[in-house]
Structure 1
Amino acid sequence: MADILSFVFQRFGSQLHAAGDLKLFSHTESSTLVIGDEDINKSLLFLTAVTAASEMGLRVLFFTKNQIQSLPVTVKDLSISLKPDSLKKIRFVYPKTLEELLEDVASLHELVLENAPLPSLLIVDGLEQYVCVQDRPQQDCQSTSAHVVALLHDTAAFLKARSEKSQQPSCRVIVSYQPVWEGRGGDVDAPDPIFLVLERYLQVRCNLHKVMVSGEVQNEWLLYLSGPGLKVDGCGNGEKYPGLQWRVVMQPNGALEFRPENAAKEETSQVQPSDCGNKA
């Protein structure tokens, strides 16, 4: 999935990286966990889905709880570059409950029996809406989260094997999750147990942290990629690489703008506990 994200950042950021930087992780296909608040997560996921369909020719399955009535402002400015049939490559599925989500994902095996076109990208928007149900014991929430991502992983592996036989693109997975420290309540200093479960299965993390300037929250986020699924020369598992960091700015009209991030800035260092690019 990081290979698709790299394409998105390169496509909508002005010269974010030299070609050599992108090659460091352009072929990484690990599943990705997007961590941030609900609004920025949904905007990034939709932009990724449209880009994958319109410019990479991939078929996308987009699971989300709330029905999308119109083209989000995130991509309205890009409509001139969309191919006429590109949005037809995106299928939106609206499971309302955890049981419906599990059933919808499990039923993807039937596409092979039906000889139907196989998806190359599975997106689940807002996993917390399915697993973090009120009055559900914490232990059940953790086991449920593991069940969902394990099923996604197995389904993607099955579709990938079938796709290779038909010479179609491999299937990737991206899941967004809003942890407790991003506004869902709870102790912001305590670890999120569900997040700890998810990161075991989803080997690349796309981290989005709100930017604060002089104590005030800005309408922008620091975005960086990390995790053992990233194949970046010179960096150990789970560590961040300075070339994979951006500022994501949401414009007044809702459009997203990606800007290269200078890792030396004081405000960014507050949310970057490790930086393998600065090792001695």
Structure 2
Amino acid sequence: MADILTLVFKTLMCQQAPKQEATVSPLTACSAVLVGEQSVSRSVLLLAAVTAASHLGIRVTFFSQTHIQSLPPALHRCVPSLSPDSLKKIRFSYPRTVEELLQQVASLHEPNNTSPMPPSLIIVDRMEGFLHGSRGGSLNEFHSGEQSCAAHISALLCDTAAFLTHVLEQRSSGAGPCRVIVSFQSDIETGQVSGASSVTDPFLETLDRYFPVRCTLDQDRGYEAAAAGLQELWHIYFSGSGITETLSAKDSEDRLNEAQEWQLLIFPDGLMEFKPV
């Protein structure tokens, strides 16, 4: 499963849920694409970066087109023990175009970015923004060139992660492997349980080929959220080939501890909690 995301969910698990040990196993390390509404997916990405830096002590590179001046107050509520030293492990980079993103990802191979220690987590916020900006139209207006661009970015991210994993292993740092998490908001409504689209999204099809786990955020617009005093309620579904491979490598007892479906509870004060389903 996407281990960093699972670590976030377990770390911020609601008090009513049975507690699970918040650990990351090298056997479950997996890169993932996070699919959902951009404001919520960005909050989850920031939580992933902060959790990786503070709980695992690893370096994180966070790519985004939008400048992040400060962490949202809700994040400080979710991670009250966050220290300045942990934040220093997160490097924010702001490429404006897909060409700049490619250049900055490629530069992670350079010695100045691998010393003293390379990042163990690479995050790309809003992949669709880079693809959209490559021609200035809606992603619904599909062009094969943009699918090739999505494949190019994804392949470079995977190649970079493999290279950095090799560097981390050579140094026996215990901070590897290097993972990748990208977020993508589809113009096409996604299905729920399967995480697949009722109408095929060519960009998601491309991303799925490179990132073996898809994590889909689907908002519950029923009465359950209001009845529970929540501001928002989101369902989170894991799917993809990485899930199948991970579960087949585990015994039946371990499988029970790896929830493939979660709920994200957002309270009126901004506090976020996760609950396994």
The match for 2:166 among 155, 161, 179 is 161
Number of the residue aligned with 2:117: 117
Number of the residue aligned with 2:152: 147
**TM-score normalised per structure 1:** 0.80
Number of the residue aligned with 1:45: 45
Q: Secondary structure at 1:33's aligned position in 2?
A: strand
Number of the residue aligned with 2:235: 222
The amino acid that maps onto 2:199 is A
Please say which of residues 142-151 and 22-31 is displaced more in the overlay.
Answer: 22-31
Q: Residue 232 in 1 paired to residue 273 in 2?
A: no
- In the TM superposition, what is the alpha-carbon distance from 1:25 to its structure 2 partner? 7.4
- In the TM superposition, what is the alpha-carbon distance from 1:79 to its structure 2 partner? 5.0
Q: Residue 173 in 1 paired to residue 186 in 2?
A: no
Identity %: 41
- In the TM superposition, what is the alpha-carbon distance from 1:205 to its structure 2 partner? 1.1
Cα distance in 1 for partners of 2:115, 2:82 equals 27
- In the TM superposition, what is the alpha-carbon distance from 1:18 to its structure 2 partner? 6.1
Structure 1 residues 79 and 260: alpha-carbon distance in aligned structure 2, compared to 1, 3 A threshold: closer
The match for 2:271 among 255, 259, 269 is 255
CA deviations over 1:123-167 (Å, ceiling 9, x no partner): 000000001232486211111000000000000000000110001
Cα distance in 2 for partners of 1:113, 1:121 equals 13
Please say which of residues 61-70 and 3-12 is displaced more in the overlay.
Answer: 3-12
Question: Contact 1:10 / 1:17 at 8 angstroms: preserved in 2?
Answer: no
- In the TM superposition, what is the alpha-carbon distance from 1:115 to its structure 2 partner? 3.2
Number of the residue aligned with 1:57: 57
Structure 1 residues 24 and 87: alpha-carbon distance in aligned structure 2, compared to 1, 3 A threshold: closer
Number of the residue aligned with 2:68: 68
Number of the residue aligned with 2:108: 108
Cα distance in 2 for partners of 1:165, 1:80 equals 35
Number of the residue aligned with 2:12: 12
Question: Contact 2:3 / 2:24 at 8 angstroms: preserved in 1?
Answer: no
- In the TM superposition, what is the alpha-carbon distance from 1:192 to its structure 2 partner? 1.1
Q: Secondary structure at 2:29's aligned position in 1?
A: coil
- In the TM superposition, what is the alpha-carbon distance from 1:219 to its structure 2 partner? 1.8
Q: Where does structure 1 lack aligned partners over 5 or more consecutive residues?
A: 262-280
Please say which of residues 249-258 and 189-198 is displaced more in the overlay.
Answer: 249-258
Trace 1:126-137 onto structure 2 (pairs within 5 A): 126-133=126-133, 134-135=136-137
Structure 1 residues 114 and 176: alpha-carbon distance in aligned structure 2, compared to 1, 3 A threshold: closer
Please say which of residues 218-227 and 102-111 is displaced more in the overlay.
Answer: 218-227
Question: Contact 1:59 / 1:118 at 8 angstroms: preserved in 2?
Answer: yes
Please say which of residues 37-46 and 22-31 is displaced more in the overlay.
Answer: 22-31
Cα distance in 1 for partners of 2:18, 2:210 equals 28
Question: Contact 1:208 / 1:222 at 8 angstroms: preserved in 2?
Answer: yes
Structure 1 residues 44 and 232: alpha-carbon distance in aligned structure 2, compared to 1, 3 A threshold: same
Query: How many pairs does the alignment contain?
Result: 252
Cα distance in 2 for partners of 1:78, 1:19 equals 17
- In the TM superposition, what is the alpha-carbon distance from 1:252 to its structure 2 partner? 2.0
* RMSD between superposed Cα atoms in Å: 3.0
Cα distance in 1 for partners of 2:70, 2:233 equals 24
